[in-house]
Chains A and B, each alone.
Chain A
Amino acid sequence: MNYFVKANPNRCIGCRTCVISCVVAHEGRQVFELDPDGYNFNPRLFVVKTAQVSAPIHCRHCENPACLTSCTSGAIYLEDHRVVINSQKCIGCKNCLMACPFGAVELVATGEIMADGSPKRVAHKCDLCARVADSPCCVKVCLTDALELVTEDDLRDNILEKRRSAVASTMI
């Protein structure tokens, strides 16, 4: 099963520390000391605030990803419990942006310039900090513990506990 980061909107205060941590982790440089124009500020999660709650939107790393199905260039694939985008293969067709039911994919400029002189723009989304950190950085930095990495074991424990308490309450 693919893993994903779950947000608890009742705990999130909308501070966007997760957004900064995502950029810091993926940029791999001391972005706090760099000129803002000198690196790509392309977060892979998006904090949304409604009248009642706030929470970041992450890629859900679906089991049957609509983004993968819709990809025209074979740039999206499954790897090690994750849905991954190969930005070298991506041609920026935007199918995945439209296909994703969560709005978790964004089109970003990589900073590279293509042979025809146009800025390279590719699909971009959460990669669960693969090859960047041991576990998702947003989860580690969240000040209110609103974020959590959900693995297959976590999900199984969660379901088993709910089944147990459902039966227990019925017995009462």
Chain B
Amino acid sequence: MYLHKSGHFATPDGIGLFKTAHYHPPVEVESPDYPLTLCTVREVGHYSARTMTGNCWTLGNLEDEPGWVEISPEDCQTLGLGDGELVKVASKRGEVISRCKKTERVKKGAIYMTYQWWIGACNELTISTLDPVSRTPEYKYCAAKVEKITDQNCAWREVARIYSEIKSDMGINKETRQ
């Protein structure tokens, strides 16, 4: 059974049906504990969960773990964050370490994370709600917070530890790949 084989839809008259769905607001909105809106996005250069593009070492030179969380200059100022600083990003589901990218490309109150990182894994934070009609996961909107990490050296050591643990679990051994 095909949805539209050779341009013919699986309907009585062979013509596709367009339907509209009513708008419903985001399931999880901002709160005093989680005041920011998290949206997950893509990044040029890496594809999906990076299982393939993560193998390109040169791409690793451009971007590497733990990835970035894009934050507006206004929110950076409020939270006392500098560009490139490791931060803790949390939602009701969990928390991850990422790096603060201070950018005017993001408006105040919103944060963006790209979803290919293993340490700064934004889908640890997203909700599992599905759209009632299309069944699309609501990965583009949930409430989150960003916390400053005072001991940056300790945080970087933790990032290195998690990274080597993940690599070891995945059977990645740099020496054998040369």
Chain A residues near B (Cβ < 8 Å): 13-16, 19-20, 23-24, 31-32, 34-36, 41, 49-51
B104 touches A50 (CB 8 A): yes
Contacts of B174 in A (CB 8 A): 35
Contacts of A36 in B (CB 8 A): 57-58, 60-61
The contact of B62 among A20, A35, A49, A50, by CB within 8 Å, is A20
Interface size on B, residues (CB 8 A): 13
Known contacts: A50-B104, A50-B105. The answer to whether A15 contacts B44 by CB under 8 A is yes
A49 touches B56 (CB 8 A): no
Q: Which of B44, B61, B103 has the most CB of A within 10 A?
A: B61
Contacts of A41 in B (CB 8 A): 61
The contact of B56 among A13, A15, A23, A32, by CB within 8 Å, is A32
A49 touches B103 (CB 8 A): yes
Within the assembled complex, what's the spacing in Å between the Cα atoms of A36 and B55? 11
Within the assembled complex, what's the spacing in Å between the Cα atoms of A23 and B61? 10
Contact with A along B75-112 (1 / 0, CB 8 A): 00000000000000000000000000001110000000
- The residue in chain A whose Cβ has the minimal distance to the Cβ of B106 is A51
Known contacts: A13-B44, A15-B45, A16-B44. The answer to whether A31 contacts B103 by CB under 8 A is no
- Does B173 sit at the interface, judged by CB under 8 A? no
B58 touches A51 (CB 8 A): no
- Does B178 sit at the interface, judged by CB under 8 A? yes
Q: How many A-B contacts if CB must be within 8 Å? A: 33
The contact of B57 among A19, A32, A50, by CB within 8 Å, is A32
Within the assembled complex, what's the spacing in Å between the Cα atoms of A20 and B57? 11
The contact of A16 among B57, B60, B62, B104, by CB within 8 Å, is B62
Chain B residues near A (Cβ < 8 Å): 44-45, 56-58, 60-62, 103-105, 174, 178
Contacts of A34 in B (CB 8 A): 57
B57 touches A35 (CB 8 A): yes
A32 touches B58 (CB 8 A): yes
A109 CB → nearest B CB, Å:
14
Given A15-B45, A16-B44, A50-B104: 11 more A-B contacts, CB < 8 Å: A14-B44, A15-B44, A23-B61, A32-B56, A32-B57, A35-B174, A36-B61, A41-B61, A49-B103, A49-B105, A51-B105
Within the assembled complex, what's the spacing in Å between the Cα atoms of A32 and B57? 7
A162 CB → nearest B CB, Å:
32
Contacts of A32 in B (CB 8 A): 56-58
Known contacts: A14-B44, A15-B44, A15-B45. The answer to whether A31 contacts B104 by CB under 8 A is no
Within the assembled complex, what's the spacing in Å between the Cα atoms of A24 and B60? 14
